[in-house]
């Protein structure tokens, strides 16, 4: 890991955002620019051009977010979610490395008492998607002198292109049962979490960044025109997420998962599916 390009304090520091045109990355870049921060957006198209660049903070939003594909093709996901993180740790200079992970690293995602940040995780029971994110976290902790890991719930925001909320908006059949309970967070809150927590220049910290409590998909039906449908093969697939977010709520305001979903579906989601 090379040193950062400047000795600026993180409150006014420079940022490199890996995956800067993705769902979370684009929201973060917009937030940083609004705050007057120096930010470089790095994508697969310009990665080689920026390789060797340095900043006070690097934020990796670039890992694979397609759980279905990860579990169907674990070798591909290992490259996308683990190898890519290892490369970025040595391809760029930084003082603080922020890694956008997932709440799917937890063994028990339905019990807040078993998915707080200090809980011991047994990775042997994780699916490929969660296991590879867990591995990437360990690489960040091992090779970054200062690290901040954000375990994010299902994110929604402008540019949303997949997931159950996208399917509801687009009228696509869901790939999970209507009684599934999910944890959601909006991308502006994730962006605020990054800049708020980076100011404290953490040594090694982990935060769950997701909405308070779960939202049941069936309870959203009144927010959309027409009936929400479920793919026949997915009717028996039920997800239950209830993630402990007490730590992040002690730092900044966080909406409930239901508020995130209803706000997005009733207004902010009108043009969110645009590419």
pLDDT tens per residue across all 275 residues of the chain: 555 544 344 445 899 999 999 999 999 999 999 999 999 999 999 999 999 999 999 999 998 888 889 999 999 999 999 999 999 999 999 999 999 999 999 999 999 999 999 999 999 999 999 999 999 999 999 999 999 999 999 999 999 999 999 999 899 999 999 999 999 999 999 999 999 999 886 789 999 999 999 999 999 988 888 789 999 999 999 999 999 999 999 999 999 999 999 999 987 444 444 43
* Nearest-angstrom CA–CA distance, 41 and 49: 11
In this structure, the strands spanning 181-182 and 215-216 are antiparallel
Strand runs labelled E in the chain: 14-18, 38-42, 57-60, 96-102, 147-152, 154-156, 181-182, 184-186, 204-209, 215-216
Contact 214, 257 (CB under 8 A): yes
Q: How much is the pLDDT for 185? A: 98
Secondary structure (3-state) at 69: helix
In this structure, the strands spanning 57-60 and 14-18 are parallel
Q: How much is the pLDDT for 266? A: 81
* Nearest-angstrom CA–CA distance, 50 and 68: 31
Contacts of 204 (CB under 8 A, 6+ apart): 141, 146, 147
Q: Quote the distance between the C-alpha of residue 160 and its chain's center.
A: 13
Domains of the chain: 10-157+183-210+241-254 (3.40.50.720)
Q: How much is the pLDDT for 2? A: 52
* Nearest-angstrom CA–CA distance, 141 and 234: 37
**Pick from 109, 119, 9: which is nearest to 56 by CA?**
9
- Give 181's strand partners: 216, 240
Residue 272 corresponds to which tokens in the numbers above?
């969110």
């Amino acid at each position: 890991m090379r040193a950062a390009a400047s000795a600026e304090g993180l409150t006014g520091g420079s940022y490199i955002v890996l995956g800067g045109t993705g769902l979370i990355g684009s929201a973060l870049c917009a937030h940083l620019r609004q705050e007057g921060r120096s930010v470089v957006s790095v994508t697969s198209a310009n990665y080689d051009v920026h390789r060797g660049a340095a900043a006070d903070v690097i934020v990796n939003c670039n890992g694979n977010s397609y759980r279905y594909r990860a579990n169907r093709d674990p070798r591909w996901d290992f490259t996308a979610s683990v190898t890519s993180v290892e490369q970025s740790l040595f391809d760029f200079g930084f003082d603080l490395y922020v890694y956008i992970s997932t709440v799917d690293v937890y063994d028990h995602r339905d019990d807040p008492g078993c998915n707080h940040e200090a809980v011991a995780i047994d990775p042997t029971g994780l699916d490929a998607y969660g296991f590879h994110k867990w591995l990437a976290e360990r690489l960040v902790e091992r090779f970054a002198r200062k690290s901040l890991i954000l375990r994010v719930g299902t994110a929604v925001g402008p540019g949303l292109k997949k997931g159950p909320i996208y399917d509801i908006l687009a009228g696509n059949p869901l790939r999970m049962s209507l009684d599934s309970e999910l944890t959601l967070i909006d991308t502006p809150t994730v962006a605020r979490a990054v800049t708020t927590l980076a100011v404290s220049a953490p040594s090694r910290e982990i935060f769950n960044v997701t909405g308070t409590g779960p939202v049941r998909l069936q309870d959203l039906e009144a927010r959309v025109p027409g009936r929400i449908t479920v793919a026949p093969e997915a009717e028996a697939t039920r997800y239950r997420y209830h993630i402990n977010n007490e730590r992040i709520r002690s730092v900044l305001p966080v909406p409930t998962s239901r508020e995130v979903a209803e706000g997005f579906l009733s207004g902010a989601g009108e043009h969110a599916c645009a590419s």
